[in-house]
Structure 1
Amino acid sequence: MSEPEQQQHTARPKQLGDVPISILDLASITTGSTAAVSLRHTLDLAQHAEKWGYHRYWLAEHHNMPGVASSATSVVIGYVAGGTSTIRVGSGGIMLPNHAPLVIAEQFGTLESLYPGRIDLGLGRAPGSDQLTARALRRGPGSDGQDFPDRLGELRTYFNPISGSSMRVRAIPGEGLHIPIWLLGSSGFSAQLAAQLGLPFAFASHFAPDFLLQALDLYRSYFRPSEELANPHAMIGVNVICADTDEEAERLATSAYQQFLNIIRGRTGQLQPPVDNMEELWSIQERAIVKGQLSFSAIGSPKTVRAQLEQFQQMTNADEIIVASAIYDHDARLRSYELLADITGIKPQA
C-alpha cells in the first residue's frame, strides 16, 4: 500500500471499562483426561461466560496436538452455539490455507443459518501445523499462506457474489448471509490486508507480542472504510490467570509456563498440572524466552490483574480484548473468568 493511501484516525483513548471482553478457548486436554471431557468443559465455560457478560467465545484450529480438542473447529463452534443463546461464537481462527474456501463458506453459512446473528469467522494465514500434518490435510505445495489474499477474496465472493456475475459454483447455505470476517495475525501482513479491506483485525499478542504496536499502527494508519467498518476495530490477545491471591495465580500460571516451555523444546503434549517451582524445570535462557512470549499476560489477584490490563489497554488503545487462560483445573479456570468479569465491569446477562 502506497503512502498517499494512508489514512489517519484519531479517537479518544479507550479505558478498560469501555471495551468488550471476549474469550479464546483452545479446548485444552489436561494430563490424564480426554477430548470428551475437554469439550464438555468448553461448553460449561461458554455457558458461564454468557451469563457473566462476555462478548464473544472463539475457538482455535490446531492439528496434531495431543493437548488441543478443537481441531474440527466448525463442529465445536456449532456445539457451543447450540448450548448457548446470546453470546457470539466463532473461530479464532480458521487457518484458511488448510481448507477450500467453498467448504468454509458452506460450514459457516450453515452455522449462521442455525444461529443467526451470532457467528464470527476469524481467519489466519499460518498453516498451523508441521509438514507431515500439512500433507495429511491434503494441502498442495502452493498452500503455504502466500495465496491467502486470493483465497480470502474467493471466500468473500461466495458470501457476496459480484453483482451481474453468473457464478456456477455457489455456497448454499452461505450466499447472501452476513458473517463478520476478522483477519488474525502476528505480523504486519494481516494488519495491512485487514486495513486495505476495511475488516476488523485481531493480533495474537497472547503468544507473539513483539510486533504488536507496529501492527496496530499499520492497521490504523492504512485503514480504508468499508461496508463492514467505518473505522478500524482492533482486538488484542491477553493471557489472564486470576485468583484470590497473587501467589495462587502464579502457581496456576505454571501450567501455561510448562506448555510454552515444551513448545520451545519442540514437544507437544497435554496441559500439565501446576508445580511449586518452575526453576527446577527451565534454564535461565528458557525462562527468558517463555516470559517474553507470554509478556502480554495478566497474572495475579483481581487488583493485580486489573492494573496489568489497564497498562495493556493504555499501551494499545484496543477496541476489544480477547482472553486466553491455560489453567489446569476447570473450577479454577471458571473462577478466573468470574473474577475477570467482575474487575473489568462487563455486564452480567439479566
Structure 2
Amino acid sequence: MKLSVLDQSPVLAGTDPQEALRQTTELAEWTDRLGYHRFWVSEHHSTGSLAGSSPEILAAHLAAHTDTIRIGSGGVLLPHYSPFKVAESFRVLETLHPDRIDLGVGRAPGGLPNINLALNKGNVPNVEGYPAQVEELIAYLHGHDPHGMGIQATPTGDTAPPVWMLGSSGTSARVAGELGASYSFAHFINGRGGTRAMERYFNHFTPSLQQTEPDANVSVFVVCAETDQRAEYLASSLDLALLQIEKGGRRTHFPTPEEALSHSYTVFEEERIADNRKRMIVGSIERVKEEIEELASLYQVDEIIVNTIVTPFEERLKSYELLAGAFELSTSTTMT
C-alpha cells in the first residue's frame, strides 16, 4: 500500500498565510522522511483559509526542500490556462527534478464564481473544451506538436511528468480513461459514487503517449490519533470547517476543536456532519489503518492520498507519523 499527501495549505487558527506555507514546507519535509509516496498541493483562489493559489510555484519550492517524495499539483485548474504554458512550466519542474514531478489537473473554478471571470479576462472558461486541453497538454509534455505549429514545450528532455486527471464524478473518470491519463478520485469531496467512477476509468482506459496501463488513487480526509476519543476531539474542528464551507462566506482560518465543541449545532447541522463523515476516516491507529485498507480495496487501488486538517499543526504532523508507522512506510524517523 502506498500512502501519499494532499496539502491545501490551510490557515489554522492563530496563524497567517505565511505560516501556512511554512507549515506546508515542513509537512513535505516530514512526510518525505516518513516514506510517503507523493505530496500534492492545491489551487484555490481568493480564499482566506487556504494559502495555496499557485501549485506550480509551491511545487518548485517543495521539490527543492525534499529528497525522494514525488511533488505535484492537486491540481492545476486547466480551463483557465493555456495547455502549452502549463506544459512549459512543468517541463521546467521536470528538468530540475527528473522523475519526481506529477501534473494533476482539474476543471473546477477554484473558488467563488467570479474567480472564473478574474482568471479569464472577464469571460467564463469553456469547460467543454477541457478534454481537448488535456490531450494537448499530454502531447506537449512528450515533445509533440499537436497543431503542427512548429513549436515544442521547452525545456525538452527524456522524461515527462505524468498527467493525473482529478475528479469527483463518473464523467471525469471516463474522460481520464479515454485519454489514457492517470486518475485520482476526490473522495474527500464526494463520499458517494466513487467506486462506480473508478470502474468507469478502468473500463474506458485506452493506452496513450503517457502510459499503457491505468493508474489510479483516491484522496480522503483522515484524522489519526492514539485513541478514538482523541481523534474525534481533533476531527470536530474539521466537522465545523466543512459546515462553514457549505454555508459560503469568507473565512480567515480553520477552527480549533475548542471552537467546534462550543458551537451550538442545529439538527440540520448534525445531519450534515454525519453525512460529511462519509468523506472522512477518523479514529485510532488500528481503526484508521483498517478503514484505509477497506477504502483501497473498495476502489481497487493500491494508493490512498491522505488530507489531514486539524489544529494545532503538531497534531497534523503526529497524524501522518502514526499512519506511517501503521503501514510501516519507514522505521527510521520519529518526531522530535
Q: TM-score, normalised by structure 1?
A: 0.88
User: CA–CA distance in 2 between the matches of 1:319 and 1:180?
Assistant: 17
Match of 1:328 in 2: 311
Q: Which amino acid aligns with 2:309?
A: A
Quote the offset at 1:276 in angstroms: 7.2
Which structure 1 segments of 5+ residues have no match? 1-18
Aligned 8 A contact 2:292 2:304 in 1 = no
1:112, 1:346 → 2: CA distance? 25
Q: Distance in 1 between matches of 2:111 and 2:200?
A: 27
Q: Which moved more, 1:155-164 or 1:26-35?
A: 155-164
Say whether residues 1:77 and 2:59 are aligned partners: yes
CA distance in 2, matches of 1:102, 1:348: 42
Pick closer, same or farther for the CA change 1:348–1:141 going to 2, 3 Å: farther
Q: Does 1:312 align with 2:292?
A: no
Alpha-carbon distance in structure 2 between the residues aligned to 1:326 and 1:60: 14
**CA offsets 1:308-331 (integer angstroms, 9 cap, x no match):** 223222322223100000112111
| Inter-CA distance 268–251: structure 2 relative to 1 (3 Å threshold) | farther
Contact 2:8 2:41 in 1 (8 A): yes
C-alpha distance 47-162 of structure 1, shift in aligned 2 (>3 A): closer
Distance verdict in 2 for CA 1:347–1:228, change over 3 Å: farther
Residue identity opposite 1:347 in structure 2: S
Larger relative CO (CA 8 A, sep 6+): 1 or 2?
Answer: 1
Count how many residue pairs are aligned between Structure 1 and Structure 2: 332
Q: Cα RMSD (Å) of the superposition?
A: 2.2
Cα displacement string for residues 127-185 of structure 1 (whole angstroms, at most 9, x for unaligned residues): 22223222221256451421101211222232234479753443222576411111110
Structural mapping, 1:120-269, within 5 Å? 120-138=102-120, 141=123, 143-162=125-144, 166-173=148-155, 177-269=159-251
Change (3 A) 1:227 1:319: farther
User: Which secondary structure does the structure 2 equivalent of 1:146 belong to?
Assistant: helix
In the alignment, structure 1 residue 346 sits paired with structure 2 residue 329: yes
Among candidates 1, 26, 31, match of residue 44 of structure 1 = 26
1:22 correspondence with 2:4: yes
Which secondary structure does the structure 2 equivalent of 1:147 belong to? Answer: helix
The verdict on how the C-alpha distance between 1:154 and 1:227 changes in structure 2, with shifts beyond 3 A counting, is closer
Q: Is the 8 A contact 2:138 2:209 kept in 1?
A: no
Q: CA deviation at 1:294?
A: 3.6
Aligned match of 2:255: 272
In the alignment, structure 2 segments of 5+ residues that lack a partner are: none
Q: Partner residue of 1:16? A: none
Q: Please give the alpha-carbon distance, in whole angstroms, between the structure 2 residues aligned to 1:142 and 1:207.
A: 23
Matching residue's letter, 2:300: N
Q: Quick one: distance in 2 between partners of 1:302 and 1:215?
A: 29
Select 1:58's aligned residue among 40, 50, 55. 40
Give the Cα separation in 2 of the matches to 1:139 and 1:147.
18
- Which residue identity lines up with residue 269 of structure 2 in the other structure? E
Name the CA distance, whole Å, in 2 between partners of 1:174 and 1:34. 38
For the residue of structure 2 that corresponds to 1:337, the secondary structure is helix
Deviation beyond 6 Å, 4+ runs, structure 1: none
